[in-house]
Amino acid sequence: MSNVAQSSSWTSFLKSIASFNGDLSSLTAPPFILSPTSLSEYSKYWSEHPDLLMEPNFLANSENAEKYEIEAMSLKRTIAVARWFISTLRSQYCSRNENMGSEKKPLNPFLGEVFVGKWQDLSKDGKIGTTNLLSEQVSHHPPVTAYSIYNEKNNTLLQGYNGIRSSFSTTSINVKQYGHALLNYQNLNEDYLVTLPPLHIEGLITASPFVELEGTSYIQASSGYIVVFEFSGRGYFSGKKNTFKARIYRDILSSSNKENALVTISGQWSGKSYIAKGSTTPSSKSDELFYDAQYKKPEELIVKPIDEQHELESRKAWSKVAEAIKKSDYDLIHVEKLKLENEQRDLRKKEQESDIKWETRWFDSIDYSDSSYRDAFTNLINLSNLSIKNCPSGSVKGGKYDSGDAKHWRFNPSKWQNESEIKL
């Protein structure tokens, strides 16, 4: 075991996890496990392969297509969306390990913190266009981040929000994700609902934490097709880490029997995966490569230099804390964090005194408890038989987690159009 793992700061951190109240952000961690990056930045992981996110646009139905052609094309687009989803996972769940040596504790965004940037079109023919990211901390207790990823050229909008609830079990931290992503291809008149998988953090005893995905994620298409992803760590499907199996069904009804799968995909989401027709598991020897996560590097988001940023922009607001973390200066980290936290506390106090509520900048909380209300989301919820409630992502309707309010964060484009202070 490493020195770090045996250090008193790590063992006391482990003890505090064992007795904590569920809010990971409230834990004081030793400096070597702190990341200089705020959680509000993590929204960028959804689009580090913009070409894959745009791909369904290039698989449109041909004019006067017959029914079977339309069916075939919507299946192709669903496969493309599944490929994009798999392509996000390495960035989402492995990038801290790859860039900083282990999973880290991100900075806990303050209410109203924003993070924005863009991906330039790297294609030769210019058909991808620029993709913009807007990320905003819409709640602090509990932490919730909302985001909008918009590509004007292809009229494509990915929006979503996420929060977590965690618990501790003997050697790992179990994390349930709340929220979802909604994908709209306006030119295709097609929508997708993406749910977020549960995960657990392993490697705590040895002070080298890493994430393992578990359980299920769904992608429901407005065409009816549904993709069911099953995740597992080392040793369940095979001896390899980060494995998954995905099955695509004609609709939720046919998904009750695995034999009904039209397409089966399997492999490692951080490595190679394969695809085959029908319900048999594809093999690396005889079947087609579905995705290779190591083949193309993630495209980096372009973010303005800090001195051009607004006070609410993540990297600017946290710059002194981030510097202190990079220097591993524990006292300075503490001092700079306290400054920020006190400022926030004062702001909230002033708001309370004058009876003003903090207004979110680009997102609205929409209450779906009125069952006569209809939009793309309610349509996808009905198709998928998933819960409409704000409960663990991917919970089924009528299941044991189907409870809570029915409020979800949605992007409000007119708020962004009227934005005068924050620039991309």
Per CB under 6 A, residues contacting ligand CLR are: 24, 33, 42, 45, 92-93, 103-105, 162, 164, 175, 177, 201, 209, 211
What's at 173, amino acid-wise?
I
In angstroms, give the least distance from the CB of 175 to ligand CLR. 5
Q: Is 139 exposed, middle or buried (0-12, 13-18, 19+ CB in 10 A)?
A: middle
Query: For ligand CLR, which is the closer residue by CB, 211 or 317?
Result: 211
Q: Return the number of other C-beta atoms located less than 10 Å from residue 280's C-beta.
A: 12
Which residues lie below 8 Å from residue 62, measured CB to CB, with a gap of 6+? 69, 73
The answer to whether the peptide bond before residue 198 is cis (omega within 30 degrees of 0) is no
**Least distance from C-beta 292 to ligand CLR, angstroms?**
21
* Half-sphere exposure of residue 75: CA atoms within 13 angstroms, side-chain side: 17
Q: Which long-range contacts (CB under 8 A, 24 or more apart) does 331-339 make?
A: 333/31, 333/34
- Cα dihedral sign, 352-111-404-366: positive
Query: Which of 33, 138 has the CB closer to ligand CLR?
Result: 33
Smallest distance, Å, CB 121 to ligand CLR? 24
Residue type, 24: L
Nearest-approach distance from CB 24 to ligand CLR, in angstroms: 4
Residue written as token pair 């924050």: 422
User: Cβ of residue 395: shortest distance to ligand CLR, in angstroms?
Assistant: 16
Min CB(105)–ligand CLR separation in Å: 4
For residue 94, the tally of other CB atoms under 10 A from its CB is 18
* Amino acid identity for residue 90 in this structure: R
**CB-nearer residue toward ligand CLR: 20 or 401:** 20
Q: Please, which residue, 211 or 380, has the CB nearer to ligand CLR?
A: 211
Q: How far is the CB of 262 from ligand CLR (least distance, A)?
A: 28
Say how far apart CA 138 and CA 408 lie, in whole Å: 11
Structure tokens at 273: 């995966």
63: helix, coil or strand? Answer: coil
Report the residue number, 177 or 270, with the smaller CB distance to ligand CLR.
Answer: 177
Cβ proximity to ligand CLR, 56 vs 106, nearer residue? 106
HEC profile of 110-142: CCCCEEEEEECCCCCCCCCCCEEEEEEEEECCC
Query: Residues 50-62, buried b or exposed e (16+ Cβ, 10 A)?
Result: bbbbbbbbebebe
Please report how close the Cβ of residue 47 comes to ligand CLR at its closest, in angstroms.
Answer: 11
Cis? peptide before 109, omega within 30° of 0: no
- Cβ proximity to ligand CLR: between 211 and 422 the closer is 211
Containing H/E element for 367? strand 363-367
For ligand CLR, give the closer residue by CB, 262 or 340: 340
CB of 35 to ligand CLR, least distance (A): 8
Residue placing its CB nearer to ligand CLR in the complex, 145 or 266: 145
